[in-house]
Structure 1
Amino acid sequence: MVNRARSQTSAVGVRARFAAAGALLLALTACAGPQPEEPEVAATRPPREVRHDTEELARAFPPLGTPVSASWIRWDNSSTGEQSRMQVAWIDAVVEVAPQTMETLVTQYESEESGQRPAVQKELVSALPPGPFRTGVELNMAFAAERTSTRVFLDPAHDTVVLQSYNFSGR
């Protein structure tokens, strides 16, 4: 015959121990207080140089045609001190193109208004037109190349193409 009183008492004791352990854990967590945030690496990084030449961009991204003007930055992971087997380079660019080039980009490659605003590096934020911006997979693929992935945004009203691109290669 099983003593029901003893079984219930044991179960209550186990629950009480779990509750006490949980309360102790909660108390220790509360005593630790908020942890200081990790310092932002970007805060210590000097601003990148904004370039305005267009020849290198036109070679890297032929759908731009002959750009009217550009503000762009390029950076890579060579100065991070990481011993990576991959060399990665990024380009963010705000490029004014000829009206005919914009017309070709809008009509030749599928895109739609996205409601998104390009997330370019802070050095280029002031160069962004107001939008709205068009984007799309087909448009992105038109600007991609071997080992390069590019996100493309168009502001047709301002004949502006915004690029967020990265290229990777082995070392």
Structure 2
Amino acid sequence: MTTQLQLIGTVIVFAASLSLGGCGGGDVPMRTEAETTVQANQIRHDLEPLTKRFPEIGHPISATWMGGTVGAQSDNRVTVPGPSTYWIEAIIKLEPTTADALRAKYAPEATAETPNLNEGLRANVPAGTFLISDSLNKALSNKDWRSAAHLHDGSNTLVLRSVDD
């Protein structure tokens, strides 16, 4: 009887190890260089990440922008554990029809305020008066991104600061 119980116990342990071993799903794939995120504080000019997140900008002519995570150091060390908060700061040259539509639809008003961007972008902010409104900010925000928008009064340039929280 003891031998039968030992045999049954061995079979149960073996069966359990086989079934649990199959739960792992295999090796965890390593991230390739192409899959890793872009360096924080790197000046970018690609439009797709912006148009995907902010459809109200239409099909911009060009953009100069940066993004990163709040709490990341210049060497990309994160100083706070837990979920990351991402940010984007962009200077976007809109198509004239898009800029006119934003002005007409959201009625931004002139402000003495100049957008305060990351040091790497400040030189690209046009001089002059900017237009702002809460409705423009809301139009360029969504369930993931909270935005502050400044539409340049003398051109079709939109300066956008957004946080993904």
Same fold (TM over 0.5): yes
1:100 equivalent in alignment to 2:97: yes
1:50 equivalent in alignment to 2:43: yes
Instruction: Give the drift of 1:47.
Output: 8.3
Amino acid at match of 1:75: G
Q: Say if 2:40 and 2:66, in contact at 8 Å, map to a contact too.
A: no
How many residues get paired? 123
Aligned to 2:161: 164
Relative to the length of structure 2, the TM-score reads: 0.69
1:88 equivalent in alignment to 2:85: yes
Alignment of 1:1-171 (within 5 A): 48-77=41-70, 79-168=76-165
Residue identity over aligned pairs, in percent, reads 27
Q: Secondary structure at the match of 1:53?
A: coil
Instruction: Give the drift of 1:131.
Output: 2.3
CA distance in 2, matches of 1:83, 1:69: 34
In our comparison, the structure showing a higher alpha carbon Rg is: 1
Superposition RMSD in Å: 1.8
CA distance in 2, matches of 1:75, 1:81: 11
Q: Say if 1:140 and 1:152, in contact at 8 Å, map to a contact too.
A: yes
CA distance in 2, matches of 1:99, 1:130: 18
What whole-Å deviation, never above 9, does each CA across 1:110-152 have from its counterpart, x for those lacking one? 3111110000101001111112000111000000011321000
Amino acid at match of 2:46: D
- Structure 1 gaps, min length 5: 1-45
- Structure 2 gaps, min length 5: 1-38
CA distance in 1, matches of 2:139, 2:51: 13
The structure whose residues are more often helix, as a share, is 1
What whole-Å deviation, never above 9, does each CA across 1:35-82 have from its counterpart, x for those lacking one? xxxxxxxxxxx9821001112111111111000010000111454433
Q: Secondary structure at the match of 1:139?
A: helix
CA distance in 1, matches of 2:77, 2:108: 36
Q: Say if 1:102 and 1:156, in contact at 8 Å, map to a contact too.
A: no
Q: Secondary structure at the match of 2:123?
A: helix
Relative to the length of structure 1, the TM-score reads: 0.67
Amino acid at match of 1:130: A
Q: Secondary structure at the match of 1:119?
A: coil
